[in-house]
Amino acid sequence: MTTVDRGLLSPADLRRPAVRTGWTVTRVVVVALVALAGAGPLYWTARSAVSATPQLLRDPLALWPIPTQWHNLADAWELLEIDRYLLNTVVLVGGSWLTQLIVATTAGYALSALRPWFGRAFYAAILATLFVPGTVSMVALYLTVLDVPGLGVDLTRTPLAVWLPAGAHAFNILIAKQFFDAIPRELFEAAQVDGAGPLTVFRRIVLPLSKPLVAVISLLTIMTAWKDFLWPLIVVTDPTRQPLAVALPRLANSADQALLLAGMFIAVVPPLLIFVIFQRHIVRGIAFTGLKG
């Protein structure tokens, strides 16, 4: 029994020269439009980063500035103190990434493999939080970090105010549980027969198999934390400790526009490089976890 490949056009249609040519042109145009929509803003930011402010105002759609002011990048790094804000961003993003990774993998493992008696109710509560917009719970979350219940500690103006709330990310727990559900339970049972406890199974069996999951969670966490604006603006009130996403809008009122765009370009480069370097692991992880959209 042969399998017939189904598509928009049948093989008989594709054998017709006019149809084949039109189909090829359509695919090229669609790919070009998608590439333009994705790469166009990046190119415009890079072009603007090495342009003079008068040239930006006079001809904002020029293909490339003449003369090219490469020193804008160095000037933005020094005059706008981009190095300090970039370091602040790396600290906040790194802590948020580690917190979310630990919470998502351990919670997903507990719900999928350990299956406590309250697991279904806990999982339902986690799913329910997906229907609550983040802005709705922001006041309650701020009051919590302002005076941590039971400890009486004020976490505002510290990285912990950003790191700890980042761990309560229901979607990462959801995809972690989905990934662990696909691991054959025979592996867990065989390890338990050999005397391995839950932590040993998690450390020696689950984690080595979870590289695709770690890649997806890392991508989602880094991208979300890198561009997060509202929550760091609320809890990190010291201007010298604010990340790039908060500092750049504040600097827009006083900084030269060319230097500001150079700072924006510097802020875009790190997450872009992370995706380019780890794109194979990220794409494979998305395929394994069944992530859509």
Gap between the Cα atoms of 169 and 54, Å rounded: 44
Q: Token pair for residue 184?
A: 């054959």
Statement: residue 62 has pLDDT above 50: yes
Statement: residue 289 has pLDDT above 70: no
Q: Which long-range contacts (CB under 8 A, 24 or more apart) does 75-80 make?
A: 75/259, 75/262, 76/49, 76/259, 76/260, 76/262, 76/263, 76/266, 77/266, 79/255, 79/259, 80/251, 80/255, 80/259, 80/260, 80/263
Please report the pLDDT score of residue 1 as a whole number.
42
Mind listing the pLDDT tens digit for each residue in 99-118?
A: 999 999 999 999 888 888 88
Gap between the Cα atoms of 243 and 224, Å rounded: 13
Please report the pLDDT score of residue 134 as a whole number.
78
Gap between the Cα atoms of 150 and 158, Å rounded: 19
Please report the pLDDT score of residue 52 as a whole number.
86
Mind listing the pLDDT tens digit for each residue in 151-173?
A: 888 888 889 999 988 888 888 89
For range 256-276, the mean pLDDT: 86
Q: Which CATH number fits domain 76-289: 1.10.3720.10, 3.30.1370.30, 1.10.1040.10, 3.40.718.10?
A: 1.10.3720.10
Statement: residue 256 has pLDDT above 50: yes
What phi, psi does 252 have (nearest 5°)? Answer: -65, -20
Read off the pTM.
0.81
Residue 105: helix, strand or coil by DSSP? helix
Please report the pLDDT score of residue 64 as a whole number.
83
Domain range annotation of the chain: 11-72, 76-289
Please report the pLDDT score of residue 89 as a whole number.
94
Please report the pLDDT score of residue 40 as a whole number.
82
Statement: residue 199 has pLDDT above 90: no
Report the candidate in 113, 278, 95 with the shortest Cα–Cα distance to residue 203: 113
Statement: residue 96 has pLDDT above 90: yes
Q: At which residue do the structure tokens 């999982």 appear?
A: 123
Please report the pLDDT score of residue 106 as a whole number.
92
Please report the pLDDT score of residue 93 as a whole number.
94
Please report the pLDDT score of residue 292 as a whole number.
44
**Percentage of residues of the chain with pLDDT beyond 70:** 91
Mind listing the pLDDT tens digit for each residue in 218-247?
A: 888 998 899 899 999 999 888 889 999 999
Q: How many Cα neighbours within 13 Å face the side chain of 172?
A: 28
Report the candidate in 244, 225, 233 with the shortest Cα–Cα distance to residue 81: 244
Statement: residue 285 has pLDDT above 70: no
The DSSP line for 136-164 is: TSHHHHHHHHHS-TTT----TTSTHHHHH
Statement: residue 3 has pLDDT above 50: no
Which runs of consecutive H residues, i.e. helices, occur in the chain? 11-14, 17-49, 53-58, 71-79, 82-109, 119-129, 138-146, 160-166, 170-181, 185-193, 198-201, 207-209, 211-227, 230-235, 244-251, 257-277, 279-289
Please report the pLDDT score of residue 282 as a whole number.
66
